[in-house]
Amino acid sequence: MIDVKHLSKSFGEVEVLKDINETIEKGEKVVIVGPSGSGKSTFLRCLNLMEKPTSGDIFFEGENITQANEHEMNKLRQRMGMVFQHFNLFPHLTIKKNITLAPVKLGLMTANEADKKAEELLERVGLPDKADEYPSRLSGGQKQRVAIARMLMKQAPVLVFDDSLSAVDTETDNKIRKELKKEMEKATVIMISHRITSLMQADCIIVMDKGEIQQMGTHEELIHQEGPYKDIYEIQMNSDIRLMEGGAVCE
């Protein structure tokens, strides 16, 4: 479904992604882990062309999208729902408007249809009473849920999460996951996450460091290999246990 070939990305002199090669099959659940600054977000942003690769090619359903024009990019982004690390909500728009803006603007839904769907999704993510609030009145976890509702408006076959569940406590995280289960099962999912539950359930874990893929495989495979994954897992295990004991989180 998604083929990444020799993808490199530099910002000025700094090479942030170095010759990344990866194939993601339809329906696959991929989890990316690695230290902060290792290039995880940049990789995801290259996939939907929010960042232009410096070299290499990205194929989406067999089509080389690397040189896509504006129109093709919009089409691609309709097929790829993304929840950003910092949610990217418009501060001057209400929650409902944040959610309905794109589908109405792109002519995919009428304003009425979009409103109705937005209300339904806000209900599902547990924020039915926040439709007319502005983002500044919401907590980090609530903003995150708005960003998830916004993503679900598209009914995209590929769902991309950039550390998107990190601002919510474990209990809310579990609730959202339960709520998203239907969509997640059907979709191709690419997610940056260090949560043990995500890692254990992944079809493929990609371990990144310094712009390179260090290891790739399932949890069972990686846990028995020499490499950074074992340490990441152990550190995360302890942190997840603390979270479960303590409740709220701030990553």
Say how many residues touch ligand ADP, by CB under 6 A.
10
- Pick between residue 33 and residue 180 the one whose CB is nearest to ligand ADP: 33
φ, ψ of residue 80 to 5 degrees: the values are -135, 100
Q: From Mg ion, ligand ADP, none, which one binds at residue 80 (CB under 5 to 8 Å depending on kind)?
A: none
Cα 42 to Cα 52: distance, rounded to the nearest angstrom = 10
217 scored as a contact of ligand ADP (CB under 6 A): no
How many other C-beta atoms are found inside a 10 Å radius of the C-beta of residue 23? 12
90 interacts with ligand ADP by CB under 6 A: no
Pick the closer one to ligand ADP by CB: 46 or 125: 46
Report how far residue 147's alpha carbon sits from residue 95's, in angstroms, rounded to the nearest whole number: 9
Cβ 239 to Mg ion, closest distance in Å? 17
Show the beta-strand stretches assigned E in the chain: 2-11, 14-24, 29-33, 55-60, 63-64, 80-83, 158-162, 188-192, 204-209, 212-217
- Helix, coil or strand: residue 247: coil
From the list Mg ion, ligand ADP, none, partner contacted by residue 69 (C-beta under 5 to 8 A by kind): none
Q: Per CB under 5 A, does 41 bind Mg ion?
A: yes
Kindly state whether residue 41 participates in binding ligand ADP, applying the rule CB under 6 A.
yes
Residues making contact with ligand ADP (CB under 6 A):
11, 16, 34, 36-42
Interface positions with Mg ion (CB under 5 A): 41
